[in-house]
């Protein structure tokens, strides 16, 4: 089976150590995590992990089941590339003098729909959100001007459908309360 | 940091409030869970709990092992023999890390355990304090759940959750790490048993359409074949299982952990699956048309090469853990749920059938295996004693009504192949992890968990020496453990593989052993040694009828092999009889 890009979402209780419990599920199978983001979810008190991997569907199905059976995990799902709306955020730090020496950098930033987050005496920080290829394209164009620091966030993604996994979880929780 | 805010859905009447220390709360919580025995080893960070235990000696018996690994294997043996949760106590650092092998063993063999470890005071966490280890981090991949308690108020709710998680659904080990300051703190103690956690489902929903599909498939099968595992025992579904196979005369074979769920002499019990299992069950796995797996997980030691495993069969998988469905073998009809509930639903829909021709196939395979392997193993023609003949005579002495605890290796395979059983929860062995050193302490725990039964620990000379210090615990507790050492002066299973697959290069497998008779005497045990066949019968009679513990050493063939065998990487149908 071919490896492909998957986004795994995990809805959990907010519990110390749960990150380790989830990541060891991947470590055990020597699966590399491309990125992992934790945040609040749409449900109060429920946290969410968004994990990006490139793996075979067969492996992803098994890993997701193993994650879902962990005590503090409410629900784990996986999505193929076309089943999610996804973004990454990138920050690029370059020297301020590259702006004062010409209009090129400003043009690049404008063309990439990026923006200046801050302009300091010594450096500026540019922000760009988008797909990996878009943040990469901006990187490539800025590189000749000297990138002093660069960071890209993990992939965040929501399901390309009316409701996310939270809908099921809410009804699960309501059932339990009644 | 997050705290345990999940309260049980239905509260049993909480015990009366009283201000006590966290350490006493640990003991009172254990008592509230019905625990009357715990296995452990004291040390600095768990001392307050041990101090509290001193006041409750009449209610909670503490078994002082001689090594934490001994303590946890004893807790496992106790859990497997009694069906209750095994409880284990250890201190921080080395005490906690010494538990890890047992925790991993319990995780892979679904044994309910609650392990309580002491931890350095919370103010010292992360400072590399004396005997500090990150036991939460270390144990996370091998526990069903774990949690670190840093304040006394959390103790009752953490332990309530621990017991609920350990015993419910697919059971497993839980570890609760308690900082020393939390043990000293005072709290207003009240205990509420836990029976609900909102993020945790004990059992999956049963789908009746799958029940119907499964029954239809079995009803239309010409060659149905049932594989059963420990799920039957853990669900207390032995009777439901028997009715299921009897209704349509379904031949049934067991995994090593399913052993004893169905009595040996049952006409539908066709034997053992897997690498050293019986000939028929392995060969006919690849000839059945419907394969019905009940409470087992298709371990590689059962399936051999998956690409050559039961490809012709429609697979029905009855399983409580959804993550096991399609993990190793694709289930055409997954029947999720607790086997105690799903089996009767299927049985009700089954049509009686004799399956006489199909059952005759198993009989024919059995006859061939008797001729090629079993006859010689149980009644050897040469002078060297075989492990099989020892177990064969042991069966006569116990009438099949003993708990057989084994270690890991050749003796384990022989004991499981030839020991006879008349009731469930009678075979205790390290199946998934294959932990050498498991046998002796597990037998101690089994003897304390089932005090009315005869407990025989079948052990090899290699594994015995890994936890031999627990003979002292057996002496101290006066547990009636009968140790049957099958001594071949080799790490026999590894030697067998070296013989068959590594050109007889016996690298580091020969054991120059101590004098086990003197050793056992040193541990104040009754001992005996058998070197010739004519001593065996009498020695085993004395072994079984003698009051209390006993150490019997039988010198067996140094280079005997266990057959049949499915060589590693081969398909089950490529099973070798010689």
| Contact assignment for A74 to B326 by CB distance below 8 Å | no
Give the tens place of pLDDT for each residue, B184-229.
999 999 999 999 999 999 999 999 999 999 999 999 999 999 999 9
A69 is a domain residue: yes
What DSSP line would sit under B473-526, residue for residue?
Answer: HHHHHT--EEEEEEE-SB-HHHHHHHHHHSTT--TT-B-----HHHHHHHTT--
- Assess whether A17 and A37 both reside in one domain: yes
> What would the mean pLDDT of B158-166 be, rounded to a whole number?
98
% pLDDT > 70, chain B: 97
Looking at the fold, whether A132 and A142 belong to one and the same domain comes out as yes
Please tell me whether residues A76 and A90 are part of one structural domain. no
CATH number for the domain harbouring residue B347: 3.40.50.1220
pLDDT value of position B15: 56
Say whether residue A40 is in contact with chain B using an 8 A CB cutoff. Answer: no
Q: How many domains would you assign to chain B?
A: 3
Helix axes B22-32, B47-54, angle to 10 degrees: 60
Q: Do both B109 and B148 map to the same domain?
A: yes
Catalytic status, residue B526: no
Domain contains B405: yes
* Beta partners for residue B455, in sequence order: B403, B481
Query: Which of B146, B150, B323 to mutate to test binding with chain A, by most A CBs within 10 Å of its CB?
Result: B323
Indicate whether A51 and A133 sit together in one domain.
no
Tell me if A124 is assigned to some domain: yes
**Does B139 reside within a domain?**
yes
Distances (CA, A) of B21 to B24, B29, B56: 5, 12, 14
Are residue B527 and residue B454 in the same domain, yes or no? Answer: yes
- Same domain (yes/no): B176, B213: no
Q: How far is CA B235 from CA B232, B253, B269, in A?
A: 5, 18, 19
Looking at the structure, do residues A76 and A161 belong to the same domain, yes or no? Answer: yes
Q: What residue of A is the nearest CA neighbor of B6? A: A13
* CATH assignment at residue A99: 3.30.70.1150
**pLDDT tops 50 at residue B336:** yes
Minimum-distance CB partner of A17 among B140, B322, B325: B140
| Angle (CA) B134 B135 B140, round 5° | 110
Looking at the structure, do residues A110 and A39 belong to the same domain, yes or no?
Answer: no
Interface of B with A (CB under 8 A): 1-2, 6, 9, 136-137, 140-141, 144-146, 148, 165, 196-200, 321-323, 325-327
Q: Tell me, yes or no, whether B183 and B242 share the same domain.
A: no
State the pLDDT at residue A171.
83
Structurally, chain A folds into a number of domains equal to 2
Answer yes or no: is B253 within a domain.
Answer: yes
Are B164 and B94 part of one and the same domain? yes
Could you tell me if residue A178 is inside a domain? no
Same-domain check for residues B136 and B231 = no
- The reported pLDDT for the residue numbered A163 is 87
| Together in a domain, A134 and A123 | yes
In angstroms, what separates the C-alpha of B8 from chain A's closest C-alpha? 11
| Angle CA A92–A97–A103, to nearest 5 | 85
The residue segments making up the domain with residue A102 are 86-152
Answer yes or no: is A175 within a domain.
no
Residue B372: inside a domain, yes or no?
no
Catalytic one of B24, B69, B163, B180: B180
Q: How does B402-433 read in b/e, with b if 16+ C-beta sit within 10 Å?
A: bbbbbbbbbbbbbbbbbbbbeebbbbbbbbbb
pLDDT, tens only, B77-127: 999 999 999 999 999 999 999 999 999 999 999 999 999 999 999 999 999
Minimal C-alpha gap between B258 and chain A (Å): 23
Q: Does residue B562 lie in a domain region?
A: no
Query: What is the structure's pLDDT at B6?
Result: 46
* Claim to verify: residue A48 and residue A32 sit in the same structural domain: yes
Residue B216 sits in the same domain as residue B334? yes
Q: Are residues B551 and B415 in the same domain?
A: yes
Residues spanned by the domain of B548: 385-555
* Numbers of helices and strands, H then E, in chain B: 24, 20
Strands B427-428 and B333-336: unpaired
A65 and A101 share one domain: no
Whether residue B144 sits in one domain with residue B54: yes
* Chain B contact probe: residue of A17, A25, A64, A168 with most B CBs at under 10 A: A17
**Do residue A173 and residue B323 have CB atoms under 8 angstroms apart?**
no
Instruction: Provide mean pLDDT across the span B312-334.
Output: 98
The reported pLDDT for the residue numbered B135 is 98
Q: Cβ of B323 and A71 within 8 Å? A: no
Q: Does A1 touch chain B (CB under 8 A)?
A: no
Among A157-166, B226-235, B496-505, whose mean pLDDT is lowest?
Answer: A157-166
Q: CB of B79 within 8 A of CB of B438? A: no
Residues whose CB falls within 8 Å of the CB of residue B415, separated by 6 or more in sequence, listed in order: B387, B391, B404, B406, B429, B458
Both A71 and A9 in one domain: the answer is: yes
Tell me, yes or no, whether A129 and A166 share the same domain.
no
Q: What is the pLDDT of residues B471-502, one digit of tens each?
A: 999 999 999 999 999 999 999 999 999 999 99
A62 and A93 fall within a common domain: no
Residue A74: list chain B partners with CB under 8 A.
Answer: 198-199
Calculate the average pLDDT of chain A.
94
Q: Band of the pLDDT at B2, cuts 50, 70, 90?
A: very low
For residue B14, the model assigns a pLDDT of 53
Residue B462 — pLDDT band, cuts 50, 70, 90? very high
Residue A148: inside a domain, yes or no? yes
Statement: residue B413 has pLDDT above 50: yes
Residue B354 has pLDDT above 90, yes or no: yes
Confidence of residue B11 (pLDDT cuts 50, 70, 90): very low
Name B155's Cβ contacts closer than 8 Å, sequence gap at least 6.
Answer: B22, B25, B26, B29, B149, B178, B182, B187
How confident is the model over A40-64, as pLDDT tens digits?
A: 999 999 999 999 999 999 999 999 9
Q: To which residue do tokens 């949690």 refer?
A: B147
Identify whether B575 is part of a domain.
Answer: no
Residue pairs spanning A and B at CB distance below 8 A: 52
Provide the pLDDT for residue B7: 46
Do residues B28 and B164 share a domain?
Answer: yes
Across the interface, do B148 and A12 touch by the CB < 8 Å criterion?
no
Residues B391 and B254 in one domain: no
B409 plus B476 within the same structural domain = yes
Active site residue B185: no
């Amino acid at each position: 089976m071919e490896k492909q890009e998957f986004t795994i979402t995990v809805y959990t209780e907010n519990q110390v150590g749960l990150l380790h419990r989830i990541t060891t599920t991947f470590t055990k199978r020597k699966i590399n995590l491309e990125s992992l983001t934790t945040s609040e979810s749409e449900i109060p008190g429920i946290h969410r992990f968004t994990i990006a991997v490139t793996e075979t569907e067969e492996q992803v199905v098994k890993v997701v089941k193993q994650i879902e059976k962990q005590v503090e995990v409410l629900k784990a799902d996986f999505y193929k590339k076309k089943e999610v709306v996804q973004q990454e955020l990138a920050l690029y730090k370059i020297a301020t003098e590259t702006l004062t020496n010409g209009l090129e950098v400003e043009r690049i930033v404008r063309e990439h729909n990026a923006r200046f987050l801050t302009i300091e005496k010594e450096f500026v920080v540019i922000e760009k959100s988008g797909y990996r290829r878009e943040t990469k394209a901006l990187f490539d164009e800025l590189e000749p001007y000297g990138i002093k620091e660069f960071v890209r966030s993990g992939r965040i993604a929501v399901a390309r459908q009316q409701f996310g996994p939270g809908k099921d979880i809410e009804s699960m929780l309501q059932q339990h309360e009644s | 940091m997050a705290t345990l805010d999940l309260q049980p859905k239905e509260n049993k009447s909480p015990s009366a409030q009283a201000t006590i220390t966290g350490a006493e709360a640990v003991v009172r919580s254990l008592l509230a869970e019905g625990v009357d025995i715990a296995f452990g080893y004291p040390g600095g960070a768990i001392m307050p709990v041990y101090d509290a235990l001193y006041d409750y000696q009449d209610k909670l018996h503490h078994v002082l092992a001689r090594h934490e690994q001994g303590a946890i294997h004893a807790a496992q043996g106790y859990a497997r023999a009694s069906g209750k949760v095994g409880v284990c106590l250890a201190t921080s650092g080395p005490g906690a890390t010494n538990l890890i092998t047992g925790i991993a063993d319990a995780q892979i063999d679904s044994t309910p355990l609650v392990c309580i470890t002491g931890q350095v005071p919370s103010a010292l966490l992360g400072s590399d304090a004396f005997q500090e280890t990150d036991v939460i981090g270390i144990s996370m991949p091998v526990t069903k759940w774990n949690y670190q308690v840093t304040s006394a108020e959390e103790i009752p709710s953490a332990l309530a959750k621990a017991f609920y998680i350990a015993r419910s659904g697919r059971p497993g080990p839980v570890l609760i790490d308690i900082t020393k300051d939390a043990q000293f703190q005072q709290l207003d103690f009240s205990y509420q048993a836990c029976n609900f956690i909102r993020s945790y489902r004990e059992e999956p929903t049963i789908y009746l359409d799958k029940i119907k599909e499964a029954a239809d498939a079995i009803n239309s099968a010409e060659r149905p074949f049932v594989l059963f595992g420990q799920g039957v025992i853990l669900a207390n579904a032995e009777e439901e299982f028997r009715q299921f196979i009897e209704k349509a005369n379904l031949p049934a074979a067991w995994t090593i952990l399913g052993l004893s769920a169905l009595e040996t002499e049952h006409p539908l019990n066709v034997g053992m699956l897997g690498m050293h299992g019986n000939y028929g069950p392995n060969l006919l796995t690849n000839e059945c048309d419907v394969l019905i797996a009940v409470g087992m997980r298709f371990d590689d030691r059962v399936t051999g090469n998956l690409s050559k495993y039961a490809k012709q069969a429609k697979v029905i998988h009855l399983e409580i853990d959804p993550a096991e469905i399609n993990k190793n073998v694709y289930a055409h009809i997954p029947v999720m749920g607790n086997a105690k509930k799903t089996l009767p639903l299927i049985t009700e829909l089954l049509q009686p059938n004799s399956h006489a021709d199909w059952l005759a196939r198993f009989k024919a395979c059995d006859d061939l295996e008797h001729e090629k392997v079993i006859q010689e193993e149980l009644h050897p023609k040469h002078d060297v004693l075989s492990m099989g003949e020892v177990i064969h005579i042991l069966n006569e002495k116990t009438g099949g009504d003993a708990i057989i605890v084994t270690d890991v290796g050749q003796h384990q395979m022989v004991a499981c192949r030839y020991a006879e059983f008349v009731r469930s929860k009678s075979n205790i062995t390290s199946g998934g992890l294959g932990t050498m050193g498991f046998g002796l302490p597990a037998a101690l725990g089994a003897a304390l968990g089932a005090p009315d039964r005869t407990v025989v620990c079948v052990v090899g000379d290699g594994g015995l020496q890994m936890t031999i210090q627990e003979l002292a615990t057996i002496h101290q507790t006066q547990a009636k453990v009968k140790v049957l050492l099958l001594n071949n002066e080799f790490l026999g299973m590894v030697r067998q593989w070296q013989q068959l697959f590594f050109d007889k290069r016996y690298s580091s497998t020969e054991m120059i052993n101590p004098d086990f008779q003197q050793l056992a005497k040193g541990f104040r045990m009754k001992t005996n040694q058998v070197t010739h066949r004519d001593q065996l019968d009498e020695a085993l009679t004395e072994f079984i009828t003698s009051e209390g513990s006993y150490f019997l050493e039988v010198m067996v063939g140094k280079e005997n092999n266990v057959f049949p065998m499915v060589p590693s990487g081969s398909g089950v149908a490529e099973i070798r009889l010689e």
